[in-house]
Amino acid sequence: MKELEIKLTGTRNLAETVVEIDDKPVQFKKNQFGSLVCRYQTANDHVNIKVKRLLDVGGLWWFITQLCFFLISILGIFDVRSHEKGLVLDFEAAVDLKTENNLTLRLNRPQADGKAINIETDLGCRELSNGYYLDTHAARTLKRLKFAKICCALATIVIAIGVLMTQI
Amino acid sequence: MNQQKTLSTPTKTLVRMQVVHLGKILFNLQFIGVAVMMASVLSFIMPAIYYLMLICAAVLSLFILLGYPTFRSLWAGGETLLQVADTLTRSWQYTVPIVAGLAVAAIVCLCFDKHQRHPARITVSVIIAALALFVLFLKIANTGVFA
């Protein structure tokens, strides 16, 4: 059995990043130095590594939930700032294994013409895809949400002024 | 950037993300609750500080201020402050349980995050929940059943 140690850096939120080796999702754990490390065992001479990024964007119920969060957090004042832009990370690489196998995947920030992930390893590696892609449906949904939040805020302010004026 | 792929997030993961998001919002909201709770618990101090400040001003001005109608109306205004303090004092029955509820709800929601521990947020929420429960028991012991 060959063991492959993968270190993942550059991501703050592991909930959004899914790493699959030979189409099986793998779990990362923090080591003593605080780095995310995964140890994978296989009998094969090659492995296929895929990295995907999950979007915090959904359908109608997600949309309604976000509006509720906006209202609960007092028109977004106490809400957590969202950095979601609808960008999908698509990375796939085939890696040849040796006796000792160490690989570091360094996630980059979303950028126009650069790579999504930099691979640091002395193993033979063939990149099949490596970049950020815009999910147009998600981007459109996020724009609609922004518009809906502005309308909600204006409606709340108008209603509040109306109630105050009737009381006076 | 290329405009192509659609990758839908699994429903279970999306729900978990929203629960954690709610936990973070509740964590932020509990600080307002704490401010209102402290105001309601310490409201009895407000009139005392107000009158003390007026007395100090009168003494420092060698009691000359006592002749001015503005100073006298400020002194009379303390009655309104007493009423406000009284209303705030009685509001502890609502503010303290709400703060405790917000803190506990924030802790529960944040525990749903499988990948991040949120130690700072959970520690602060535990302290606030403990403080709120302590104040609640003290108030119940002092005043008896909810009036």
B61-101: pLDDT as tens digits: 877 767 777 777 887 888 888 888 888 888 888 888 999 99
B19 pLDDT tier (thresholds 50, 70, 90): very high
Average pLDDT over residues A87-95: 89
**CA of A2 vs chain B CAs: smallest distance (Å):** 27
**CA of B74 vs chain A CAs: smallest distance (Å):** 25
Average pLDDT, chain A: 87
Which amino acid appears at position B144 of this protein? Answer: G
Region of B23 (left: φ > 0; alpha: ψ -120 to 50; beta: rest) is alpha
Rounded Cα distance, A5 and A22, in Å: 15
Count CB pairs under 8 A between chains A and B: 78
Query: What is the ipTM metric for this complex?
Result: 0.79
Beta strands in chain A (DSSP E): 2-9, 17-21, 24-25, 29-30, 36-42, 46-53, 87-96, 101-107, 117-121, 125-134
Does the distance separating the beta carbons of B116 and A13 come in below 8 Å? yes
pLDDT of the residue at B1? 46
Residue pointed to by tokens 């009284």: B86
Task: Record the pTM.
Answer: 0.78
pLDDT of the residue at B147? 46
Which amino acid appears at position B119 of this protein? Answer: P
Which element (helix H / strand E) includes A102?
strand A101-107
Region of A22 (left: φ > 0; alpha: ψ -120 to 50; beta: rest) is left
Distance separating the N- and C-terminal Cα atoms of chain A: 79
Helix or strand or coil: residue A117? strand
For residues B26 and B122, the answer to whether their CB atoms sit within 8 Å is: no
Dig out the tokens for B19 from the structure.
Answer: 């629960």
Which amino acid appears at position A129 of this protein? Answer: S
Write out the DSSP string of B12-25.
Answer: HHHHHHHHHHHHHH
Residues 7-46 of B with CB under 8 A from A: 7, 9-11, 13-14, 16-18, 20-22, 24-25, 28-29, 32
Q: In what order do the strands lie in the sheet with A36-42?
A: A29-30, A36-42, A2-9, A101-107, A117-121
Q: Provide the 10 A C-beta neighbour count for residue B25.
A: 21
Region of A92 (left: φ > 0; alpha: ψ -120 to 50; beta: rest) is beta
Dig out the tokens for A143 from the structure.
Answer: 């724009």
Rounded Cα distance, B144 and B146, in Å: 7
Whether residue B5 has pLDDT greater than 80: no
Tell me the chain B residues in contact with residue A131 when contact means C-beta distances shorter than 8 Å: 1-2
Dig out the tokens for B44 from the structure.
Answer: 């009895």
Rounded Cα distance, A40 and A72, in Å: 43
pLDDT of the residue at B144? 66
